Amino acid sequence: MSVINILPVTLRNKIAAGEVVERPSSIVKELIENSLDAGSSSIMIDVLRAGKRLIRVSDNGAGMDREDSLLSFERYATSKIKNEEDLFNIVTMGFRGEALSSIAAVSKIKMMTAPQGRMGTCVEVIGGEAREAKECPATGTTVEVKDIFFNTPARRKFLKSDSTENYHIIDVITREALAHFHTGFVLRMDGNDVLNLPPASSHRERLMQIFGKDFVDGLIHLEAENNQMSIKTFAGRVTSLRNNKNNQFIFVNKRPIKDQSITGAVYKSYESLIPKDKHPIFFVFIELNPHKVDFNVHPTKREVRFEDTKGVFDFVYQTLKAGISKDAGYNPPQAEQDTEYRIQEAVSSRQDAGYRIQRKQDTGYISEESSYFYPESRLKIPEAQVSHIPDHVESISFIYLGETFVAFPHKNGLTIMDYHAAHERINYERFLKKIEIMPYRLLFPQQVKLQAGEHRVIIENLQLLNEFGLEIEDFGHGTVIVRALPEMLKDADMNALMSDMAASLLSSEFRVQGLESNEEIEPLNSRKKILAARLACHSSIRGKEVPDRTKIAELLKNLDNTENPKCCPHGRPTRIFISMDELKKMFKK
């Protein structure tokens, strides 16, 4: 007896729907792209309960007659391609003919559509089964999707909170709006206007509509083209960095994608200009011959495959590197002999006994291949050795190694401290315990323009932010007013701070990893802890700030008074002790 079964059509459709419909934002994306392919100049999206109850997408594009409206719900039914050759010459957003059938398989869907000047058709499908098709008045096309995953409750329970799902919906619409600036977009959530983007004349104007003029004025606009492709980029300056990758967008032939090679090219263009734990802002718009790119490699068309990946990488890198380096006033090193080390006094004051080891070519101070200085080395650190520092920190001498590292000689070995990580631990516990958090009221309250998704998250958590000393008010239209903040944050980049706060609030589960696999891990599973960790990062000493002897002594004293002095809130060690015996082994003695 055969053990292999042919699956029924309904089950096949639900499996296929799982590839296309991951969450409500997936439905929004597919319906918007259908509207764009129909030539719409205006698209309106209505959402109830984060799309779990209702998603409605209406457009003014070319509608369908009765026959096509019924066929559109069949799998692999599409007007976009007709043969295999068309599959490698994709000029539309959709082409597989799976969207409507996949959505209909896991929801209750109604579509009202009409060709211009003709009577429309209303089609209703529930759980993949057509229930009704009748005439109705319509302009363009309107698709209503209700009760997503009503017939697959196991998948419905995996949906996140309304706040998280709303954020993903806003993110999808933002990306589509950036790619198609000639089209107007309106988004309403639970009856409230969240986005209202009229048609724009350029990418720059659309960026200003979404992010604000100040944000766009801080970007470097670069354009280039060759005989294979053209590129338009808006890249953040090296002084405008973020702790997250939220404001990074890539588009190929007006399609929002994720691509490691393009992202790698962008990061390489910032190489040696930004710290490794910071992330640049960038918007990359690439246009190339559709024969040179394959969009049919991912169910949701999120990834692509280039015919000449190296050519795309080089083109993006060369375009950005030239513009970013020029803007930063950076001149690449000329000769290898200019990399020898030299020792100089860190501060000329007689109160500072610290010294730094510096290399003229500022590309890193200690080889990153040396495993002795990184947690990945799995270096075992005995509990008794972690706190090996001189008994009288007031008279401590240290060597500045570069970036955020200082070293303390000790009779039994050497202690290396990451002073940024140490300061993070200190400030993290201060924020949590509300110790020494002095309020700083701004003389002139500052307006901050946010993405719609970030704005919504911040407004939903005003009370929590206020507990940390951040006095924020909603100013409407994606803008907040910051009236007060903790004194230790008074010099922070307000746009970056608000963006990071929103990203942190969306992180529902976050854990730090300890130095050893069997070490007790500190969970950052509450919003307060996540926020405290992010605020601590913003308020701590950076690599460009070299602390003097007094500051180092203060850090060591305050660090020893914390509950967990061994690591920062993100799990990185604050200091590592290398014993004399270990040093001898390194030198094979």
Domain containing residue 294: CATH number: 3.30.230.10
393, part of any domain: no
Residues 141 and 229 in one domain: no
212, part of any domain: no
Residues 253 and 115 in one domain: no
Note down pLDDT in tens along the chain; length 589 residues. 667 777 777 776 666 666 678 899 999 999 999 999 999 999 999 999 999 999 999 999 999 999 988 888 887 777 777 777 776 777 778 666 678 888 998 999 999 999 988 899 999 999 888 877 899 989 999 999 999 999 888 888 888 889 889 999 999 999 999 999 999 999 999 999 999 999 999 999 999 999 988 899 999 999 999 988 999 999 999 888 888 888 999 999 999 999 999 999 999 999 888 887 789 999 999 999 988 988 877 766 788 889 999 999 999 999 999 899 888 765 544 433 333 333 333 333 333 444 444 433 443 333 333 333 333 333 333 343 344 444 445 557 788 888 888 888 877 888 899 989 999 999 999 888 877 778 888 888 889 988 888 899 899 889 888 888 899 999 888 899 999 988 888 888 888 888 888 888 876 433 333 333 333 334 445 778 888 888 888 888 876 677 888 888 888 888 988 888 888 888 889 989 888 888 888 888 8
Residues 158 and 189 in one domain: yes
By the 8 A CB rule, do 480 and 459 touch?
Answer: yes
384, part of any domain: no
Please give the span between the terminal C-alpha atoms of the chain, in angstroms, as a whole number.
72
Using the 3D structure, point to which of 304, 328, 352 is the last residue of a domain.
328
30, part of any domain: yes
Contacts of 157 (CB under 8 A, 6+ apart): none
Going by C-alpha positions, the residue among 181, 188, 160 that lies closest to residue 47 is 188
Residues 192 and 229 in one domain: no
Q: How far apart, in whole angstroms, are the C-alpha atoms of residue 424 and residue 405?
A: 14
Count: domains in the chain: 2
Is the pTM above the cut of 0.85?
Answer: no
User: What is the bridge-based pairing of β-strands 305-306 and 413-418?
Assistant: unpaired
Using the 3D structure, point to which of 271, 305, 328 is the last residue of a domain.
328
Contacts of 196 (CB under 8 A, 6+ apart): 185, 186, 187
Residues 24 and 150 in one domain: yes
Instruction: Indicate which CATH number applies to the domain containing 67.
Output: 3.30.565.10
48, part of any domain: yes
In DSSP terms, which residues pair with 166 in a beta bridge?
none
Going by C-alpha positions, the residue among 249, 576, 525 that lies closest to residue 419 is 576
By the 8 A CB rule, do 471 and 484 touch?
Answer: yes
553, part of any domain: no
Residues 148 and 239 in one domain: no
Residues 49 and 128 in one domain: yes
489, part of any domain: no
Residues 192 and 295 in one domain: no
CA dihedral 323, 326, 329, 333 (to 10 degrees): 100
By the 8 A CB rule, do 486 and 437 touch?
Answer: yes
244, part of any domain: yes
Residues 86 and 230 in one domain: no
Going by C-alpha positions, the residue among 434, 398, 435, 433 that lies closest to residue 418 is 398
Angle of helix 162-179 relative to helix 24-37, nearest 10 degrees, comes to 20
The residue type of 307 is E
DSSP 567: B
Rg of the chain in Å (alpha carbons)? 28
Residue 313's domain comprises 218-328
Residues 194 and 222 in one domain: no
CA-angle at 348, arms to 346 and 352, nearest 5°? 70
Residues 115 and 59 in one domain: yes
